[in-house]
Amino acid sequence: MKFFNYHPISGALLLSCLFLTPVSAAPLTFLQVWALAEQHSPALLLASAQIHGAQAALDTAGAYPNPEIEIGSGNSRLLPPAALTGHNSLMALAQPVQMPGLRRARQRGAQAGIASGEAQLADARLNLYAQVKLAFLEVLRRQDEARLAEENHGLLLQIKNRVGLRVEVGESARYELVKSEAEVLAAESAARSSEIRVVQARDRLRSLLGAPLDEQFEIVHEMPVTAPLTELGKLRAELLSNQPQLKVAAAEFDRAQATLEQERSLRTPQPTLKWSAERHPDVSLWRVSLAFPLPLWDRRTGPIGEAHANMERVQADQERIRNSLLGELDQAYGRYLIAQRQLKIFETGLMRDAESALKVAEAAYRYGERGILDYLDAQRVFRSTRMDYLNAGYELQFALVEIERLSATVGESK
């Protein structure tokens, strides 16, 4: 899976620039934000540590059992008629012998653990990328909302001032000034609230990165690159082929099968090869023997049953994950279609109609054909339409990010 296509040297220069200059000195691009997340994210460090543990487990699975050596000495006192006494000694060596089936099963389970760890790392990177991208977009969204709210506040303040002049010269009633002042206060409250939401979104992004960013850090107002969306059938196929969670589930199923095979192999007696040499006052002897445990009482039915039940559980969980991911993809694709349809409605007439209605109401108010209430209502509809249009655009981006995460196509061209 590819996350970005850039030359390693340029990537190294980018990282070095991030370390040599304060991250808050200039607005951060999305690529810089993602680079910080890769460096500082605890989730990626945890997934990497799991891979190291899995690799160590493979070394353990490939290790041969250690031999056992026995050394002893003592005094011998034989009974008559050969009543010789003296010193005796013993040296013995025992080497457990593993059957090939047991060793293969153990190594297969360890290799499945490595595959599971690598898939978990890929899943952690994929989820982190989606979370960072969503948080980045959320900051942009809140900044755009704050900009619109501040523009609305300034516009309503101008309207209030014009109404105030008309009230002073007696061209408008006093209640029009009161109404316009109320609208200004509401717009000012909305503007201040939008500023707070910008700070909250920026804090969420900073906490997600885990990097030492300044509280007043800024980001470049740019839309992160998103691959063009294909049809739902191809997205489902990409999910089934690329999704790391499915690879984790498949690796865990392989490990469960290896565990079951290992437990069944242990039912076959594992021999121990022994060699010993003894020295007595009157005789020296040595022997080679092969010892087998007798599986009379314990046929390992319990461990085999547990391993079989665990394999069935992992298989069922694998199917559950598959169905859940496909359902999430269908929902995200539906949200994308809804947002796309809303944008089309806005762009093909709704925005133009709201703006035209505002111009008509403004002209009618200036020429005394309509009151301030009609003008303010038209202004409110226009503001609401602009905000809805803005949110529809970001909802489309949010849906695309979710589809990218589910189909595991981040950074790939389709």
pLDDT number for residue 296: 81
Q: What is the dihedral of CA 243, 246, 252, 253, to 10 degrees?
A: -140
pTM score of the predicted model? 0.78
What DSSP designation does 28 have? B
Q: pLDDT at position 82, please?
A: 57
What is 31-73+87-407's CATH topology? Outer membrane efflux proteins (OEP) (1.20.1600)
Average pLDDT over residues 132-138: 93
Instruction: Print burial letters for 294-308: b (CB count within 10 Å at least 16), e (below 16).
Output: eeeeeeeeebbeebb
CB 43 within 8 A of CB 128: yes
Nearest to 106 by CA among 330, 236, 262: 262
Beta strands in 265-313 (DSSP E): 272-279, 284-291
- C-alpha distances in angstroms, 247 versus 121, 250, 405? 11, 5, 14
Q: What residue spans define the domains of the chain?
A: 31-73+87-407
Higher-scoring residue by pLDDT: 9, 258: 258
Taking each continuous run of H as one helix and of E as one strand, the counts in the chain are 10, 4
Q: Would the pLDDT of 196 be above 60? A: yes
What is the per-residue pLDDT for 234? 92
Rounded mean pLDDT of 143-167?
86
pLDDT > 90? residue 85? no
Q: Which strand ranges, in their side-by-side order, compose the sheet holding 272-279?
A: 68-77, 85-96, 272-279, 284-291
Quickly list DSSP for 344-403: HHIIIIIHHHHHHHHHHHHHHHHTTSS-HHHHHHHHHHHHHHHHHHHHHHHHHHHHHHHH
Using the predicted structure, report yes or no on whether residue 2 has a pLDDT greater than 50. Answer: no
Instruction: Give one word for 318, left, alpha or beta, with left for phi > 0 and alpha for psi -120 to 50.
Output: alpha
What is the share, in percent, of the chain residues with pLDDT greater than 70?
A: 90
Contacts of 206 (CB under 8 A, 6+ apart): 213, 215, 217
121 close to 44: Cβ distance less than 8 angstroms: yes
Q: Once rounded to an integer, what is the mean pLDDT over residues 264-274? A: 85
Task: Read off the amino acid at residue 189.
Answer: S
- Relative to beta strand 68-77, strand 85-96 is antiparallel
Give me the helix-helix angle, 30-40 and 8-20, nearest 10°: 80
- Quick one: which of 268, 287, 269, 267 has its CA closest to 277? 287
